């Protein structure tokens, strides 16, 4: 059962989704370190969802249309806010000069918030993790926490690779003046697109 869970988790993790897009955008913008820190923030948010799934909080979220809508639109609004702020930044520096940098602590915090305010992540773990729980072993909450911790560990490795690859490409892209001037529009559009997609997507409980 554990082997099947690992295979399923790896398949899910290597499939690009909103979290991967967020990490890639941060990596291209500010380098591998920023992408790796953003990935760690994302997975701290994941741990919160795993804990919620283990102790039944996600069940309440799934049964309450108001709670689902509130968290859903808060998360979408935050992504749109990040995108708009990026678009409104001043003209980036000339090629060869560093892009204005955000502190790693701030990037980490943003990663936590982006994932924490994604109700579909909570609902995913509520639906996914119990499939691999062995009721005969007892301690359902403990099993879910263990499976969630394994998922997070695999996710850190997977998303870390995305950050390294995107950050390496970003170093080259930032040395290109034309690309550099358009980078804020690309990153801003990605964040806004993620937010609008989250806001307009159908109810994940269906």
The whole-number pLDDT of residue 57 equals 60
Say what the pLDDT of residue 12 is.
78
pTM of the model: 0.70
Burial 71-95 (b: 16+ CB within 10 A, else e): bbeebbebbbebbeebeeeeebeee
What integer pLDDT is reported at residue 37 of this predicted model?
Answer: 95
pLDDT given for residue 150 in this prediction? 95
pLDDT, residue 140, reads 81
Query: Nearest to residue 89, comparing CAs of 71, 101, 73, 97?
Result: 101
Q: Which of 49, 109, 47, 83 is nearest to 198 (CA)?
A: 83
Q: What is the DSSP string of 78-104?
A: HHHHHHHHHHTSPPPPPTTSPPP---H
pLDDT of residue 192: 85
Smallest CA-to-CA distance from 89 within 160, 183, 194 is with: 183
Contact 92, 173 (CB under 8 A): no
pLDDT in tens, the chain (206 residues): 788 889 888 887 877 677 887 888 888 888 889 999 999 999 999 999 999 888 876 676 667 777 767 767 777 788 788 888 878 876 544 444 444 567 888 889 988 988 888 777 877 887 788 878 887 787 888 888 999 999 999 999 999 998 998 888 776 766 665 555 666 777 778 778 877 876 775 544 33
pLDDT in tens, 53-92: 888 766 766 677 777 677 677 777 887 888 888 788 765 4
Half-sphere exposure of 51 (CA within 13 A, CB side): 7
At 204 the pLDDT is 41
Domain coordinates of the chain in residue numbers? 19-200
Radius of gyration of the chain (CA): 18
75: nearest Cα among 194, 204, 185:
194
- State residue 197's pLDDT score: 73
């Amino acid at each position: 059962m554990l082997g099947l869970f690992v295979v399923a988790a790896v398949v899910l993790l290597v499939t690009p989704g909103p979290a991967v897009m967020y990490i890639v955008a941060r990596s291209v913008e500010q380098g591998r370190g920023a992408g790796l820190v953003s990935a760690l923030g994302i997975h701290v948010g994941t741990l919160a969802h795993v804990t919620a799934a283990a102790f039944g909080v996600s069940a309440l979220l799934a049964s309450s249309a108001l709670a689902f809508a509130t968290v859903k639109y808060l998360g979408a609004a935050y992504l749109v806010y990040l995108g708009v702020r990026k678009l409104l930044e001043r003209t980036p520096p000339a090629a060869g000069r560093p892009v204005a940098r955000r502190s790693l602590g701030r990037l980490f915090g943003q990663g936590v918030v982006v994932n924490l305010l994604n109700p579909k992540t909570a609902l995913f773990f509520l639906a996914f993790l119990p499939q691999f729980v062995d009721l005969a072993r007892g301690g359902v909450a403990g099993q879910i926490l263990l499976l969630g911790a394994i998922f997070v560990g695999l996710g850190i490795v997977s998303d870390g690779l995305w950050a390294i690859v995107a950050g390496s490409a970003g170093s080259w892209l930032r040395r290109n003046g034309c690309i550099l001037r358009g980078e804020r529009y690309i990153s801003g559009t990605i964040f806004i697109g993620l937010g609008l997609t989250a806001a307009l997507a159908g109810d994940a409980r269906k």
